[in-house]
Structure 1
Amino acid sequence: MSRRITWADAPCPIARAADVLGEPWTLLILRNATAGTTRFEDFRSQLGIADNVLTTRLAKLVDRGLLTRLPYRDGGRTRHEYRLTQAGSDALPVLHALGAWGDAHTSAEKSAGPMSLIHTRCGRPTRPGAKCDSCGKPLARDDLAWRSSWLGPDEIPLAEPVNAAEDR
């Protein structure tokens, strides 16, 4: 599904952000990349997305600088992993806001419960911000994890961004 217009040069920053993040599947791909998914096959199986759609979305996320493509060897074949760049990592507050909004304003027939942000240093739930709600310590990305039953039984550490300029 292609949009007929672009907001890439719109004066409004929300419109420009929607131009990058607003296509179907894009936010779910970023969610999974933030949770550590890097390989095409894993995105496909986790999301149930068609190959052609996934290929197009990954290419756009690379073109827009949210993901970078890194080669790896699989047997005798070169394949690529997709890693978050700083721009992709900076979408984390958007994902948190959408998760909180979804918890508060939507429901599912088979709800898995809310998605929690965990401060791994104290092991307690917190909200995005500068300090942990529970222990008051400063929050750094590498001290955060997600917890939700639909993601699996364990806390999922947030993937660290790579420096896209160094990897090209």
Structure 2
Amino acid sequence: MSVPCPIGRAVGLLGERWTLLILRNANLGTTRFDSFRAELGIADNILSNRLARMVEAGLLARVPYRGAGRTRYEYRLTTAGAEVLPVLHALAVWGQEHTEPAEPAASMRVIHQRCGQVTLPGPVCDHCGEPVRREEEAWVRPWLSPEPTALASAWRPAADPGLVTTP
């Protein structure tokens, strides 16, 4: 049964443990089960369950690819999954302001690639004042790498060539 409150519905879907972290990684370009598992340290059964639920809800699309002689599946970010970005931005800001890492670490930064400057998460660059489009945003997570990671584009079924073959 769906609740009438949109916040309640969103929490019902996004509030499960691991779901927002899977969406964070999908927004940063992770698509394969093994990569999600390695990056998150999540158990196979839990990851499988969360991915299936997110596909069912339309946050991710399950897309076949051919690798190692058999068909496998990637999990591509959909428009609905990509539109969780403002929630991830808000959580990053809140987490920076109200939580402490176990060990000292440099803060996550958002880069507006168009001007090359750090900006607060949001729709407009603090440095140049221009809109920050999704394809112009990158994140630096210094505890993982000093290099910025560009956000993934939302998958569009009509633009997909079908089965992808990988070495």
Displacement of 1:136 in angstroms is: 1.3
In structure 2, the partner of 1:162 is: 155
- Structure 1 residues without counterparts, runs of 5 or longer: 1-7
What amino acid maps onto 2:41 in structure 1?
G
Between the aligned residues of both structures, percent identity stands at 56
In structure 2, the partner of 1:5 is: none
Deviations along 1:57-82, whole A, 9 cap, x unmatched?
00000000000011011121111000
SS of residue in 2 equivalent to 1:18: helix
CA distance in 2, matches of 1:17, 1:133: 29
Deviations along 1:109-132, whole A, 9 cap, x unmatched?
214222111100111111233321
In structure 1, the partner of 2:28 is: 35
Question: Structure 1 residue runs of 4+, over 4 Å off?
Answer: 164-168
Displacement of 1:102 in angstroms is: 0.4
CA distance in 2, matches of 1:69, 1:45: 19
TM-score (norm 1): 0.90
Deviations along 1:118-158, whole A, 9 cap, x unmatched?
10011111123332110112211101001121232210000
Alignment of 1:108-127 (within 5 A): 108-127=101-120
Deviations along 1:72-121, whole A, 9 cap, x unmatched?
11121111000100000000000010011000000122142221111001
Displacement of 1:41 in angstroms is: 0.3
TM-score (norm 2): 0.90
Alignment RMSD (CA, Å): 1.6
Query: Are 2:23 and 1:47 aligned?
Result: no
In structure 2, the partner of 1:141 is: 134
Choose from 60, 74, 83 the match for 1:81.
Answer: 74
Length, aligned pairs only: 161
